[in-house]
Amino acid sequence: MKKVVVFLEKLIEDSEFIYPYLRLKEEGFDVISAAPENKVYTGKAGQSFKADKVFSDVKNETFDVVIVPGGYAPDLWRRDSEIVDFVKRHHVNGKIIASICHGPWLLISAGIVKGRNVTGFFAIKDDLINAGANYEGKDWVEDGNLLSSTNPQTMLPMMKRLVEKMKE
């Protein structure tokens, strides 16, 4: 069974966390959420979430897919060297990394966007370009093991493709 981790942190874009988490569970994949601490987190829209696991308990595990939701949370994750290294390790090992909206901020810090086709919320376009990414500006983009989308609405076709990739 394919294993998926969905990152959680305060000020996450609520729908960008809950939709991938539930959608992939619905498909029958082994999905967990992981956050820096064992506490309740409040998203940008005010929803409350509690992670299934503390990140330190899963940092040495290997997942088939890493989901990086947006909101302001990616700015916090990229300050944590263990989370950055986790994303980089999964990328190097060919695992799928899916990011939404501001999620590519974490991918930039992990050093995995240079020369890659990536999209994200328009406000981080310059960040992606300055990190060497080929900023597509499309609703969603697939480049090998990287999937990215610009916002909650565009994550829907990206998630459809992610499910297809996971079933291949």
Burial state string for 96-106 with b = 16 or more CB within 10 A and e = fewer than 16: bbbbbbbbbbb
The reply to whether 101 belongs to the active site is yes
- Angstrom distance (rounded) from CA 145 to CA 139: 17
Which candidate in 8, 58, 68, 101 is catalytic?
101
What's the chain's Rg over C-alpha atoms?
A: 14
Distances (CA, A) of 152 to 101, 110, 118, 120, 157: 7, 23, 16, 11, 10
- Angstrom distance (rounded) from CA 69 to CA 71: 7
| Sign (positive or negative) of CA dihedral 124, 126, 129, 131 | negative
Instruction: List 71's β-bridge partners, or say none.
Output: 12
Closest among 14, 13, 23, 19 to 166, alpha carbons compared = 23
The reply to whether 102 belongs to the active site is yes
Which candidate in 100, 102, 105, 149 is catalytic?
102
Task: Name the residues annotated as catalytic.
Answer: 101-102
